Structure formats: structure tokens, C-alpha cells
Structure 1
Amino acid sequence: MLKIGDKKLINAWAFYDWANSVYSLVISTAIFPIYYAGLTSSEGFANAEGKISFLGTLWTPTTLYNYALAFSFLVVAFISPMLSGIADYSGNKKKFLKGFCLLGSLSVMCLFFFTGKETLWVGIVFTILASIGFWGSIVFYNAYLPEVAHPEQQDNVSAKGFMLGYAGAILLLLLCLVIIETEVFGFYDKQFGSQLSFVLVGLWWLGFAQVTYAKLPDSEKSKLPKDNYFVKGIKEFKKVAKELFAYQELKLFLISFFLLSIGVQTIILMAGIFGTILGLETLNLIATILLVQFVGILGAFLFSRLSNKIGNIKTLKITIAIWGLVCFIGFNLTKDTPNIEMYFYILGALIGLVMGAIQSLARSTYSKMLPKTEDNASYFSFFDVTEKIALVVGMVTFGVLNSMISIQSSVLALAVFFLASFITISRIKKTKYVK
């Protein structure tokens, strides 16, 4: 069994980012949303008003897709605290990680069968299940960080995971684009090429996850009480909740993380739609997405090193300030802005610089602030639930302001959340490992 801090253990843990990040890029951001939008807007799919029928109700395609994702986030927010409590009580985090990974990867592959109006239910149901699988696995994956790296290693180790994730996602996205847009593999059919891409994502995710499973420690307890797992899981979660809110710095950090996540996650999910409204072509959007990923590798590396020199809190404040700048630039962009493509590329580069950095540092900072405990899954479930609730709040805020005023006002409103996060994180006092 590999000991904490061992390079082989660290590399194996970080490799799960390589495995799962293809879902974030190909399914959540790039190919599937474009495939879904193209299919649902095709002739014969939507009615004359551009609406589609699902569960006996008419929806605009974008609204149905957004609600499906929001539902998946709420499911994860509801079940992960209970499951993490059970995982800590029984010591079987790896089983939960494997289970959610299997659910997510198989669901992504099932999107292959979403081919038209008759199979809309396939697209929606497996979009929800894939999202639950991805975000559910992340809870238990993140919970391993304190068990694979010492506190002084965790910034760099967390960044390493994100860097590997960006690299793997870029590689598979480029392969998928070749399959979709060219005849290199002996055929040229954009729809079938997209369907094959979904299968490749699932196989990549499930296949490379085996590298992580092989090295992560099995911490399942040899002697388990015969009490009800569910009841004990709830009790475990309540115990951790009481402990967590007794730590003032942890409580402040979670509040700050909630506020910054409203902005970060909403921008990540809505950037493509924002670009479409600004009139950008699909090719420019894909190019911007790739730019974000490439710059994200550099950003995660640079900011992890900066945190080693000036501390996590100061480094996080810098990234939050840059996110605020992104909001102000986005607010000033309209469809009539000259050279809009160039401005959008600049926006993409700024987002890439701080996207991986802020997520990586938030994960490692939270990990370093935790008390010495065996309840890591329960503690990280709070981290995950905070992010999911923030995402729902962000999407609702963005949607309401967009419908009532404009999409630019929605972008500007996100700057308010970043400002509040900056003020909150400034109140955190230095600890042994977080400065």
C-alpha cells in the first residue's frame, strides 16, 4: 500500500482528472450542446414556434436542457451528503467513486442513441444521469486529496490534476473534431461522428479511471456494526456539520466559495450561449473553448506556484479580481462591437488563465483547512453541495436578468458575487497551512 505523499499515489489520483475531464469539455461544453441544439432545431423536430414536446409539455430546447442539468445538480446536492456520510462510516469511498463513474460513463455512451424526435427522452434522461455520475464521482475523488498528499503538497497536486484534465480533454476533443469534420476515418457524417464521440468519451472516462482505482487505498473497515447504514450515514453527516460550523475560518471559506462559484460555474456553462448571442460562428466558439483549455493548463501551473510564494488567500483574491474583470469586459460586448471575435478570444484567454487556477486552489485550500479527520468524504460533500447550490442560484439569476433586461446585465450581476466573495475571503485569518 502506497503511503501519503508517494509520487505514484499522487499521479494515480491526479489521473482521474485526465479520465473525467473529457465529460466536462466534450459533453458539457463543446460537442453535445451543439449536437443537441442542431438536432432539436432541425426540420420536423420543433413546432412552428420552435418548441418541443417532453412529458406532455412544450419547452424551448434550451430551457429543457437547462432544467435537465439543474435537476441533476439538485439530485447530487441532495444525495451526496447522505452517501458521503455512509462512505465515511463504512470507509468505502472507492466503491462510491467507482459506482458514480460507471453510471456517468455508461450514460454518456447511451447518448449515442439520441438521434431524433422519437429519442428525445434518451437525450434528456441520459444527460441527467451522466451529470449525476460525473458530479457524484467528484465528491469522493476530491475527498481523497488529504489522503494522497501532505498539506504542503496539496496546491501543486490539485493543480496537477486540473492540468492533466485539460490536456486529456483537449486531446480527445481534437480527435472528436477530426471524426466529425473530416473523412480521415473513411466517412463524413457529422451526426454519426458526434454520436461516436459520445461513445469515445464514455470509454475514455471509464478506461483511464482504472489507473486511479489501482493505486487509491482501500480504506473499508474490516469490522462494521450491523446498524442501518442509512441512519448511520445521516448521523455521520450531522456530526461533521456540527464540527464544520464550529470552525470560523472554514465557515467563511465556504461562504466565499459559494459566492465565487455562482460566478465561475455560470460563466463556464453560459459562455457558449453568450458567444452565440453575440453572433459568433460555431468554429469561433470551438476555437475559443480550445483556447480556454490550453491557457487553463498554464494558469493552473502559474497560480499554484504563486500560492507557494504568497499564500492561498492572496492568490485566490487575485483570481477573483480577474474574474470580476471578465464580467466587466463581457458587459461591454454587444453584437455590434467591432472585431467582436478578437474580444471574445481575449475574454476566453482571461477565463482560461483563472478557470483552472481558482477551482484548483479552492479545492486544495479547503483540503488544507480541514481538521485532522477520517470523515473526508462528508467534509467534501459540503464543498460539493455548496458548488451545486451556487450553480442553481447562478443559473436562475442569469436567466431572470436575461429575460427581464439583457444578457449583458446578467454578466454584470455576476461581478457583484465576485465582489462579495472577495470581501468574505479577506476576513479569513491565517492558519498553519493557509496564508
Structure 2
Amino acid sequence: MKKNDPLIINAWCMYDWANSVHALVIVSSIFPVYFSATALSASGTANISFFGAQIKSSVLFSYTVSAAFLITALLIPLCTGIADYTGKKKRFMQFFCYLGAVSCMLLYFFTKETLIPSVFLFGLSLVGWSGSIVFYDSYLPEIATEDNFDRYSARGFSLGYLGSVLLLLFNLSMVLAPEFYGITQKSLPARISFFTVGLWWMLFAQIPFRYLPSGNAGNRKADNPVFNGFEELKKVFFQVKHQPFLSKFLSAFFVYTMGLRTVMYVATIFGATELKLPSQSLIITVLLIQIVGIAGSFAFAWLSGKIGNIHALMIGVAIWIGICTAAYYTTEAVEFYFVACAVGMVMGGIQSLSRSTYSKLIPENTPDTASYFSFYDVTEKLAIVMGTFIYGTVEYLTGSMRNSILALLVIFMIGLILLYRIPSRKVYRFELERNEN
């Protein structure tokens, strides 16, 4: 198909606009605050009963994220195998999208009486979101040329930030001024927010679903389409082993993603439980992160053009080390706001740059980019599983989220060392051509 078609590119970017509200409202702002408050209201303490076990609500939150992404990591190879066999990649993207969106809409019924079912709905929303992203990401090498990967990836993330901010502003107005909307029930504004996330996600997703191609022609020669995805992952794994640049990047990506995505999922819980910040302050802080993140996405795309992707990523991870150090010593709201601004500058930038860097490293003329992006996304999901599990376990064993922050600090330091081992793109290409000759 024709690459760099403005209509297709803009439609592809609109899925970031559609789904990013989940990351902002459900993962980072209103839901974590509401979850902590509802759990406290249900039990009267920080601990809640989960199938007979007493567990801190913040630890349960972390473990739910771990379980959701572990399920996704197991599902994705099955789905990509069937998608490769049938040639209906977009259908799977739609399935996961609707699963996540409907789960968000059902969170409208989240009260202290429905706490446990709502935990499962939250997990399902994460499965839907992360599953759809696998197929969404795999479109980039098919619709754009390599020289535009950074720019289009950054455009998608920026649209995601902008769209999610607009919806959060509406939701925030309900939370802060419910009387303006004639709302008298205290929990209703938050629950309406969860419903609007699912509705927004589902409606705006129709734009990419309308214009994106269905997928490849279908690999009907597969002996076992159900498990073909695992065979494809195995094939990609052995191909990656023979590409030193790509294998080193994925090792570094796995490690620093453990830290980056864990911060994304637990930052608001940290502010609510460790710093005891009011819900309004936390939500406004997350809004600030999104606004700063728009500039951050384009800043890292510009930086990568000047010094290269790997060096730009190294700068981003180094900033994360500083963020973790500052967060460990943070005790006041003002300090938390400064840390949040730093998070905003590097959060979207590193995610955008990681996606485009991997797109550049996929071997040219690869007929099925879905298998490579399945490998990339399974790597990312397993990193999230490990990161959130480590974070939750350290807090469970020590009783302090600050010790969990120290664990993330070590993870980012290891990630920086692994990035440092990667040669520049120009050096890598020179060595590859020399070996081929």
C-alpha cells in the first residue's frame, strides 16, 4: 500500500487520541484516587479483604496491573497467530478495543459493595487497552517510511495527550463542581468519568477502524493457526539473536520499561497513600503531566534527530534516575508537582522514541510486521509484570512505598548501562555491511 498517505497516517494517530484517555483517567488520575478512597471506606483501614486475604489496597492495585499484563502477554501470541492466518489484524484490534472500552463503562457501577468485581473490570480494561496497542503499533512500518517513524510516532502520542487532557478537564469539572451539573451523590462524578472513558474510546476508535487496512493477505499455509503466534515469536526470537543491535536494544528496553511503566501505574497511588495529597491536587498534577508531555514527545523526536535515538533515550533514562531520587525524598505537595513536571517531559517522549526506534530496527522488507511487534509488545508486557510485581512486593515486605522507589532507581540505572552498550546507528550499519561483504 502507499506509505505516508496523510489520510491513513492521521487516522492511525487518532487511535492514540481514542485510547489514551484510559491511561490518563483510569490508570493515572481519577480511578486510582477513587479506588483508594473506596477501599478505605469499605474496610476502614488501608487493608482490604480479597478472597479471604488481607492486603493493602495499593499492593492489590499493583498486583492487578501485573496479572492483567501477564494475561495479555499470554493472549497476544495466540491472537497474532490467528490474525496472521486469517489476515484480519484489524478485527483483533477492534476486539481488544471494545473489551477495554466496555470494561471502563461498567466501572460506572463501582461502589464499596462492588469492590472486588470492579478490580476485575479494571484488569480487563488493561487487557483490552494493551492488547489493542499491539496491533495498533504494528501498523506503523506498513503505513510510513522509516524517515517518518519518529515524527508520526510523536504525533500519535501528542494527540493522545491532547485528547485525554480534554476529557479529563470535563471529568475534573464534574469532580470539583458537581453542583454545576446538578449532581448530589458524592461518588457519581468519578463513576460518570469511567463511563465517559469507555464511550470516548469506542467512538473515536471508529476513525482508524474506518481507514486502516484490514491486515495482511493471510498466511493460510500455517499448520496450526492457534499456536502459530508462539511459533512466530520463537522465530523472531532467534532472528533477534542474530541482530546484535536489535537484541541489545530490546534488553535495555525491557529493563527501563520495567521502571517507566510502573511509575505510570503507581504514581497517583503513591501521592494518595504516601504523601496523603488531596484528590483534587493529584488529578491536577496528572493533568499537568499530560500538558508537559505534549512538548516532551516532540522534544525527544527533535533530540533524536540531532544526536540519534539511543543517545536521546540515554538522556531520558538518566532523567528518570533523577526523578526516582527526588521522589524518594519528596514529602511536600510542591516537591511532588516538580517531580510530576519532570515525569511529563520524559514519559511520552521515551515511549514514543522506543516505538519508533524499534520500527527502524525491524529488518527491511519484512512481510509480517505483526510478528515483530508482537514480540516487542510481549517484551513490554512482561516488563510491566515484573516492574509492578517488584514494586508491590517490596512495599508488601517492607511496608513502605519509598523502598519500592529505590528498587525502581536501581532498575533505571541498569537500563542506562544496557543502553550505553549499544553502538550508534551509523557504527552498527558499517559493521553489518562489512560482515556481509
Q: Is the 8 A contact 2:77 2:227 kept in 1?
A: no
Deviations along 1:95-151, whole A, 9 cap, x unmatched?
A: 11011001110111111122232x223302211211110000011111111112111
2:402 to 383, 408, 419: 408
**Change over 3 Å in CA distance of 1:222–1:265 after alignment to 2:** closer
Using the alignment, how far apart are the partners of 2:305 and 2:84 within structure 1? Answer: 31
1:363 aligns with 2:355: yes
Using the alignment, how far apart are the partners of 1:266 and 1:81 within structure 2? Answer: 23
Q: Which residue pairs with 1:286 in the alignment?
A: 283
Aligned residues: 425
Q: Is the 8 A contact 2:62 2:391 kept in 1?
A: no
Using the alignment, how far apart are the partners of 1:203 and 1:137 within structure 2? Answer: 16
Q: Which residue pairs with 2:13 in the alignment?
A: 14
**Change over 3 Å in CA distance of 1:128–1:222 after alignment to 2:** closer
Q: Which residue pairs with 1:383 in the alignment?
A: 376
TM-superposed deviation, 1:406 = 4.0
2:414 to 408, 420, 433: 420
In structure 1, the residue corresponding to 2:49 is in which secondary structure?
Answer: strand
1:341 to 313, 324, 333: 333
Q: Which amino acid aligns with 1:256?
A: A
**Change over 3 Å in CA distance of 1:311–1:359 after alignment to 2:** same
Aligned counterparts, 1:313-328, within 5 A: 313-328=310-325
Q: Is the 8 A contact 1:12 1:211 kept in 2?
A: yes
Q: Which amino acid aligns with 1:312?
A: N
Deviations along 1:202-248, whole A, 9 cap, x unmatched?
A: 11001000101111112342683484321433333322222122211
Aligned counterparts, 1:251-262, within 5 A: 251-262=247-258
Q: Which residue pairs with 1:304 in the alignment?
A: 301
Deviations along 1:164-216, whole A, 9 cap, x unmatched?
A: 00111111011011123222323233311222111111110010001011111
Ranges in structure 1 where 5+ consecutive residues have no aligned partner: none
Using the alignment, how far apart are the partners of 1:143 and 1:186 within structure 2? Answer: 44
Aligned counterparts, 1:204-243, within 5 A: 204-221=200-217, 224-225=220-221, 227-243=223-239
**Change over 3 Å in CA distance of 1:237–1:397 after alignment to 2:** closer
Using the alignment, how far apart are the partners of 1:360 and 1:406 within structure 2? Answer: 32
Q: Which residue pairs with 1:31 in the alignment?
A: 30
Deviations along 1:46-98, whole A, 9 cap, x unmatched?
A: 2x665433434443333333322221111011111232233234322111101
Q: Which residue pairs with 2:388 in the alignment?
A: 395
1:353 to 318, 322, 345: 345
Q: Which residue pairs with 1:81 in the alignment?
A: 77
Q: Is the 8 A contact 2:253 2:354 kept in 1?
A: yes
Q: Which residue pairs with 2:125 in the alignment?
A: 130
**Change over 3 Å in CA distance of 1:67–1:168 after alignment to 2:** same
Using the alignment, how far apart are the partners of 1:221 and 1:149 within structure 2? Answer: 19
**Change over 3 Å in CA distance of 1:186–1:234 after alignment to 2:** same
Q: Which amino acid aligns with 1:351?
A: V
TM-superposed deviation, 1:396 = 2.9
1:168 aligns with 2:167: no
Q: Which residue pairs with 2:434 in the alignment?
A: none
Q: Which amino acid aligns with 1:353?
A: M
Using the alignment, how far apart are the partners of 2:56 and 2:416 within structure 1? Answer: 36
Using the alignment, how far apart are the partners of 1:401 and 1:64 within structure 2? Answer: 13
Q: Is the 8 A contact 2:101 2:198 kept in 1?
A: yes
**Change over 3 Å in CA distance of 1:64–1:270 after alignment to 2:** closer
TM-superposed deviation, 1:302 = 1.2
Q: Is the 8 A contact 2:85 2:218 kept in 1?
A: no
**Change over 3 Å in CA distance of 1:374–1:188 after alignment to 2:** farther
